[in-house]
């Protein structure tokens, strides 16, 4: 059956939810709040980071000269007290609307970024902002300077290479690539920034076939804390290049431009299956075995929507036609012994498929977290953990395939052996925040009890107790060394910064 009608989670408009989920019936997001825990030391066998940085100089003190900086910028410098401030400081997650930066600089050139660092490094906290979708509001630091790179948004495709400004949004990236007949595996939300997404890895509906977004990075232009502009690639600043591929946004420097290797844009078939109440454990059990055995052309996720009973749906994307996909989907429904109440299968071109998954661009107010599984876990336990928690979703995104090709220490992205990431997402307001945070904490503990460990840095969660090992595993020590090399005075410090 070919239908576009899809059911959203009760209480959450489907498009809004899918946007948060990041992937239609697919991926999702997470951010949670709470006390930040100091990072534990992490052992490593990683290669030593070579030192080529200039010796650290003493940073200036005292407040920045904002008028001087404003006069140097091509873009604006917006400070509290003007009407534009409330809008200029906004990120995607409304829960952090109370963050009040001391200034928001809109950088339109590399020189603008350099001027910001020169004026403010050491004097105030500095955070780059690309799409502003940090789950934890880390791109809008309280009392700090936001360096908004949204104006650096070119998408220039030449042959198989795409040069993309650090402020480009995914919708513009996809449109630019599609015009040139090229593709880049990336996330789903149209307004997520290419910078945050790439620096943390970049999981999307083409990941099993083509890998993570960061796996396609061939070089990046980075302004470091001392104002130098470096090119990071396999041949130039290789430690930095390693760290930029999964080490997380906000660390090491401000990226102004990425160069990616792209692939010819494929035709795709998207799908969505809704399963009847009561079948969630069977479907999840079968899904875990199924996704592990699937060809990389197939990407899928499974969403458990908490409540009584827990609801379950599976969605995804296939690099190929409907006939081949239907055979694979029948395999899942047979093994799950569950007949979907709704089955959507739809062939689209590359851009059409990216739009199918994109959802709405409305801002959301939420808390979230994540865990990673490397092998099938007890499905009944996962379902039990969401039982009765109306509004809470678990978004289980299949990994493996091309994601598993590089070694775990080949780039900073640690979870090469993952079967899936599991995102925990729940809407939250200032009023419900405490209660929701507690519930998410319980779910995360329940996931750990079921055998899920690790976490995805792009679903950054200030309340995740073991966050550094969870995000980075044995790569954490090398990341700390790279951070100390390129930002010796920790100008880019933040709550879950690699050196925090």
Contact call for residue 400 and ligand FAD (CB under 6 A): no
User: What b/e string do you get for 8-41 counting C-beta neighbours within 10 Å, with b at 16 or more?
Assistant: ebeebebbbbbbbbbbbbbbbbbbbbbeebebee
CB of 73 to ligand FAD, least distance (A): 16
Instruction: State the minimum distance, in angstroms, from the CB of residue 313 to ligand FAD.
Output: 17
Q: Identify whether the C-beta of residue 126 lies closer than 8 Å to the C-beta of residue 147.
A: yes
DSSP state of 22: S
Please report whether residue 223 would count as binding ligand FAD according to CB under 6 A: no
Nearer to ligand FAD, 249 or 488 (CB): 249
Binding region for ligand FAD (CB under 6 A) out of 6-14, 182-190, 311-319, 333-341: 182-190
Query: What angle do the packed helices 379-386 and 433-449 form, to 10 degrees?
Result: 170
CA-closest candidate to residue 244, choices 417, 479, 50, 407: 479
173/281 with CB nearer ligand FAD: 173
Q: Is 18 in the site for ligand FAD (CB under 6 A)?
A: no
Decide if residue 23 touches ligand FAD (CB under 6 A).
yes
**Please, what is the minimum distance in Å from the beta carbon of residue 484 to ligand FAD?**
17
Q: Which of 17, 105, 106, 135 binds ligand FAD (CB under 6 A)?
A: 135
Report the candidate in 117, 106, 120, 109 with the shortest Cα–Cα distance to residue 65. 120
Six-digit token string for 276: 């009847």
Cβ-based neighbour number of residue 387 at 10 Å: 14
Residue 379 CA to chain centroid, in angstroms? Answer: 25
Does residue number 91 form part of the binding site for ligand FAD (CB under 6 A)? yes
255 scored as a contact of ligand FAD (CB under 6 A): yes
Alpha carbon of 447 to those of 34, 221, 381, 422: distances in Å?
Answer: 19, 38, 8, 9
Both structure tokens of 456: 């995805």
**How many secondary structure helices (H) and strands (E) does the chain include?**
15, 18
Nearer residue to ligand FAD within complex by CB, 23 or 78: 23
Nearest CB to ligand FAD, comparing residues 19 and 389: 19
Pairwise CA distance, residues 106 & 113, whole Å: 9
Q: Would you count residue 488 as binding ligand FAD (CB under 6 A)?
A: no
The answer to the question of residue 187 lying near ligand FAD (CB under 6 A) is: yes
Output the smallest distance, CB 374 to ligand FAD, in A.
18
Q: Can you list the alpha helix ranges (DSSP code H) found in 359-462? A: 379-386, 433-449
Residue 138 binds to ligand FAD (criterion: CB under 6 A): yes
Nearer to ligand FAD, 44 or 94 (CB): 94
Judged by CB under 6 A, the residue of 92, 174, 287, 413 near ligand FAD is 92
Whichever of 224 and 282 has its CB closer to ligand FAD, that residue is 224
Q: How far apart are CA 311 and CA 274, in angstroms?
A: 8
Answer yes or no whether residue 455 interacts with ligand FAD by CB under 6 A: no
Q: Which of 200, 247, 316, 473 binds ligand FAD (CB under 6 A)?
A: 200
Task: Report the interface residues with ligand FAD, using CB under 6 A.
Answer: 19-20, 22-23, 27, 29, 91-92, 127-135, 138-139, 149, 166, 187-189, 192-193, 195-197, 199-200, 202-204, 249-250, 254-255, 458
């Amino acid at each position: 059956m070919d239908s576009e009608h899809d059911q959203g989670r009760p209480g959450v408009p489907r498009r809004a939810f899918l946007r948060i989920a990041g992937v239609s019936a697919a991926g999702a997001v997470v951010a949670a709040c709470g006390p930040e825990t100091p990072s534990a030391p992490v052992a490593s066998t990683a290669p030593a980071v070579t030192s080529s940085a200039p010796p650290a100089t003493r940073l200036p003190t005292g407040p920045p000269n904002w008028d001087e900086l404003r006069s140097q910028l091509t873009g604006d410098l917006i400070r509290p007290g003007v009407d534009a401030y409330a809008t200029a400081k906004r990120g995607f997650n409304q829960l952090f609307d109370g963050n009040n930066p001391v200034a928001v600089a809109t950088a339109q050139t590399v020189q603008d970024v350099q001027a910001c660092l020169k004026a403010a490094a050491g004097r105030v906290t500095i955070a780059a902002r690309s799409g502003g979708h940090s789950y934890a509001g880390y791109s809008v630091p309280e009392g700090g300077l936001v360096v908004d790179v949204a104006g650096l948004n070119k998408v220039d495709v030449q042959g198989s290479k795409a040069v993309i400004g650090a402020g480009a949004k995914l919708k513009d990236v996809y449109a630019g690539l599609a015009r040139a007949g090229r593709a880049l595996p990336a996330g789903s939300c149209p307004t997520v920034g290419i910078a945050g997404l790439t620096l943390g890895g970049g999981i999307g509906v083409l990941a099993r076939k083509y890998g993570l977004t960061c796996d396609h990075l061939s070089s990046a232009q980075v302004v470091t804390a001392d104002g130098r502009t470096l090119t990071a690639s396999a041949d130039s600043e290789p430690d930095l290049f390693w760290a930029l591929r999964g080490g997380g946004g906000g660390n090491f420097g401000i990226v102004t431009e990425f160069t990616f290797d792209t692939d010819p844009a494929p035709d795709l078939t998207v799908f969505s299956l809704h399963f009847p109440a009561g079948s969630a454990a069977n479907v999840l059990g079968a899904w875990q075995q199924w996704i592990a055995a699937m060809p990389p052309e197939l990407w899928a996720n499974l969403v458990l929507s908490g409540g009584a009973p827990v609801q379950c749906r599976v969605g995804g994307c296939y690099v190929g036609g409907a006939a081949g996909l239907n055979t694979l989907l029948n395999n899942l429904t047979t093994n799950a012994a569950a007949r979907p109440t709704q089955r959507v299968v739809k062939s689209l071109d590359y851009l059409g498929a990216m739009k199918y998954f994109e959802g709405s661009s409305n801002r959301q107010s939420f808390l979230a977290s994540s865990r990673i599984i490397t092998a099938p876990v007890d499905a009944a336990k996962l379902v039990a953990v969401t039982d009765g928690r109306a509004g809470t979703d678990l978004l289980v995104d299949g990994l493996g395939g091309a994601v598993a090709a590089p070694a775990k220490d080949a780039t900073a992205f640690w979870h090469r052996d993952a079967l899936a990431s599991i995102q925990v997402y729940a809407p939250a307001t200032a009023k419900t925040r405490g209660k929701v945070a507690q519930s998410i904490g319980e779910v995360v503990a329940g996931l750990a009890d079921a055998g899920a460990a690790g976490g995805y840095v792009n679903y950054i969660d200030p309340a995740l107790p073991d966050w550094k090992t969870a995000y980075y595993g044995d790569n954490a020590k090398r990341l700390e060394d790279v951070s100390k090399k390129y930002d010796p005075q920790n100008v880019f410090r933040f709550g879950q910064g690699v050196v925090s």
